[in-house]
């Protein structure tokens, strides 16, 4: 009995030492742990993930990420069932999901040229409404939505994609009916509705110098009007080809020089032949063509490796600039979830994210974790 007790204690000790040694040597195995203290690592979540229908996906999301963005659930057309009538069923579930898992919750978005019902800009006869009437609708929308989640959503994409690629203001319905100051008004009202909430301007292709200059001018204009804009979101819908790490680094640094933090808000890396040439304009469409869809049965190893290297090179930039970075969010969990499978060509097989279609982590996942390991 005595010897068996010694054996048990010895075994326990050995196990404890082994576990200790393992813990000390064990590299982080989750994105949120790897980048802890540097910036949030987030993911855009879709309806099955918000509602719990994609239970396997939810397990990965909860284990790996500490921030969420709703891929569609908070956009105008998703919460306005008909003019003036809101349906917050899905949006409430989204916020509850983030709260349950103690995540940094992002609101996406309040003012955008897309996914906004035409009726928002029209009267009952279908005629365009006046500047004052549209301002009133915008104000009501902001106070309704931001007010509903006051203190629960931590960060709002107040205005999304207001710029053309040349840095000028997009002639959206908002701009045409209200004028350039719709941006200022939106920011003012969000700040009034929730003074604590982080205010973001969000856009794509800010790696393009002309567009970046437009974003910088927009931020400075808001600052000149006393708006405490906190973050510029660079969506980073990028490709294997571009931007280079150097350009990404310059983009982050120039945006941060305005005094705001930088968030990478919608990261994915296109591996397919490019049809969009760096744009993420949701209105772009191109016809199906087998030449544009070369990997329907899986990504060749060489491209898989290239993808991993590209992810690593971008995360190296974000890690190096961590003092000015607030968050890096991936635009979807697995390749099966990505909008890129249907844009700008419908029905392609893009492998642009960190988890594959079987929800297995890809080499790119480990490469992103290894960035921090190598830096320390
Ligand atoms: O929900 C309907 C469904 O009822 C209908 O049967 C189906 C048929 O087409 O459409 C479904 O809606 C689709 C929706 O995604 C939900 O899946 C829309 O057609 C489709 O256009 C919409 O696409 C979204 C796109 O924004 C719309 O503009 C993508 O999921 C979403 O990833 C994408 O996200 C944007 C960001 O908000 C802003 N930056 C660019 C980014 C990528 O385009």
Look at residue 160 and tell me if it is in a domain: yes
Contact partners, residue 248, CB within 8 Å, separation at least 6: 207, 236, 238, 314, 317
DSSP 102: T
Distance of CA 284 from the midpoint of ligand 1 (Å): 13
Residue 355 beta carbon below 6 angstroms from any ligand 1 atom: no
Which atom of ligand 1 approaches the CA of 282 most closely? 43
Nearest-CA residue for atom 23 of ligand 1? 339
Cα–ligand 1 centroid distance for 73 (angstroms): 10
Atom of ligand 1 nearest to the CA of 109: 37
Are 204 and 235 in contact, with CB atoms under 8 Å apart? yes
Residue 324 lies in a domain: no
Residue 115 CA: which ligand 1 atom is closest?
Answer: 28
Residue owning the nearest CA to atom 2 of ligand 1: 78
In a domain, 103, yes or no: yes
- How many separate domains does the chain show? 1
Structure token digits, residue 366: 């480990």
Alpha-carbon span 193 to 150, nearest angstrom = 8
Nearest CA to ligand 1 atom 14: 72
- Beta carbon of 90 within 6 Å of any ligand 1 atom: no
Say if 65 falls within a structural domain. Answer: yes
pLDDT at site 132: 98
Q: Is 270 in the pocket of ligand 1 (CB under 6 A)?
A: no
- CATH number of residue 201's parent domain: 3.20.20.80
- Report whether residue 266 contacts ligand 1, using a CB cutoff of 6 Å: yes
CB 292 within 8 A of CB 339: no
What's the pLDDT score for residue 345?
A: 92
Q: Whose CA is nearest to atom 16 of ligand 1?
A: 72
Distance CA 215, CA 311 (A): 25
Q: Is residue 365 part of a domain?
A: no
Spacing, Cα 194 to ligand 1 middle (Å) = 28
Answer yes or no: are the C-beta atoms of 206 and 212 closer than 8 Å: yes
Of 99, 104, 110, the C-alpha closest to 157 is 110
Decide whether any atom of ligand 1 lies within 6 Å of the 38 Cβ.
no
- Whole-number Å distance, alpha carbon 54 to ligand 1 midpoint, is 18
What does pTM read for this prediction? Answer: 0.92
Which pLDDT value is given to residue 18? Answer: 40
Length reported for the chain: 376
Q: Is 16 in the pocket of ligand 1 (CB under 6 A)?
A: no
Pocket of ligand 1 contains residue 303 by CB under 6 Å: no
Best probe residue, ligand 1, of 81, 235, 282 (max atoms within 8 Å of C-beta): 282
One-character DSSP codes across 208-242: SHHHHHHHHHHHHHHHHTT----EEEE--EEESSS
Centre of ligand 1 from the C-alpha of residue 340, in Å? 10
Pocket of ligand 1, candidates 112, 265, 337, 339: which has the most ligand atoms within 8 Å of its Cβ, to mutate? Answer: 339
The boundaries of the domain holding residue 107 are 39-273
Instruction: Specify if 19 maps to a domain.
Output: no
Atom of ligand 1 nearest to the CA of 339: 32
Residue 29 lies in a domain: no
Of 72, 80, 203, 236, best ligand 1 pocket probe by most atoms within 8 Å of the beta carbon: 72
Residue 131 within any structural domain of the chain: yes
CA of 72 from ligand 1 middle (Å) equals: 7
Q: Output the tens digit of pLDDT for each of the chain's 376 residues.
A: 334 444 343 443 343 334 334 345 566 799 999 999 999 999 999 999 999 999 999 999 999 999 999 999 999 999 997 778 999 999 999 999 999 999 999 999 999 999 999 999 999 999 999 999 999 999 999 999 999 999 999 999 999 999 999 999 999 999 999 999 999 999 999 999 999 999 999 999 999 999 999 999 999 999 999 999 999 999 999 999 999 999 999 999 999 999 999 999 999 999 999 887 667 777 788 888 889 999 999 999 999 999 999 999 999 999 999 999 999 999 999 999 999 999 999 999 999 999 999 999 999 999 999 999 999 8
Is 327 within 8 Å of 39 (Cβ atoms)?
yes
Active-site residues, by number, are: 161, 266
How far is ligand 1, taken at its centre, from the CA of residue 257, in Å?
33
Cβ neighbours of residue 183 closer than 8 Å, sequence gap 6 or more: 111, 159, 162, 218, 222
Biggest distance spanned by C-alpha atoms of the chain: 92
Q: Does residue 207 line the site of ligand 1, with CB under 6 A?
A: no
Q: What pLDDT was estimated at residue 86?
A: 96
């Amino acid at each position: 009995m005595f010897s068996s007790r010694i054996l048990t204690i010895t075994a326990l000790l050995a196990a404890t030492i082994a576990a200790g040694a393992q813990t000390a040597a064990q590299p982080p195995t989750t994105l949120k742990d790897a980048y802890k203290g540097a910036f949030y690592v987030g993911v855009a979540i879709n309806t099955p993930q918000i509602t719990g229908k994609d239970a396997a996906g939810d397990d990965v999301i909860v284990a790996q990420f500490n921030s969420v963005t709703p891929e569609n659930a908070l956009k105008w057309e998703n919460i306005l069932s008909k003019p003036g009538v809101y349906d917050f069923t899905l949006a409430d579930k989204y916020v509850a999901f983030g709260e349950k898992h103690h995540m940094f919750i992002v609101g996406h978005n309040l003012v955008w040229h897309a996914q906004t019902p035409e009726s928002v800009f029209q009267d009952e006869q279908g005629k365009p409404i006046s500047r004052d009437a549209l301002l009133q609708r915008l104000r009501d929308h902001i106070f309704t939505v931001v007010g509903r989640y006051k203190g629960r959503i931590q960060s709002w994409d107040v205005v999304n994609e207001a710029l053309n690629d040349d840095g000028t203001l997009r002639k959206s319905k908002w701009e045409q009916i209200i004028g350039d100051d719709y941006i200022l008004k939106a920011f003012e009202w969000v700040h009034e509705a929730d003074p604590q909430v982080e205010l973001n301007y969000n856009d794509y292709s800010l790696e393009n110098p002309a567009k970046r200059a437009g974003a910088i001018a927009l931020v400075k204009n808001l600052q000149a009007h006393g708006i405490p804009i906190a973050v510029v979101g660079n969506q980073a819908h990028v490709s294997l080809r571009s931007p280079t790490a150097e350009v990404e680094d310059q983009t982050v640094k120039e945006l941060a020089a305005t005094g705001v933090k930088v968030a990478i808000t919608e990261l994915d890396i296109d591996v397919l032949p490019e049809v969009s040439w760096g744009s993420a304009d949701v209105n772009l469409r191109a016809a199906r063509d087998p030449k544009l869809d070369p990997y329907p049965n899986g990504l060749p190893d060489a491209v898989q490796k290239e993808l991993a290297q590209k992810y690593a090179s971008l995360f190296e930039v974000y890690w190096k600039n961590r003092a000015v970075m607030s968050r890096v969010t991936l635009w979807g969990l697995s390749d099966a979830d990505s909008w890129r499978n249907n844009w700008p060509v419908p029905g392609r097989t893009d492998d642009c994210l960190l988890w594959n279609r079987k929800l297995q982590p890809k080499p790119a996942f480990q490469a992103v974790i290894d960035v921090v390991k190598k830096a320390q």
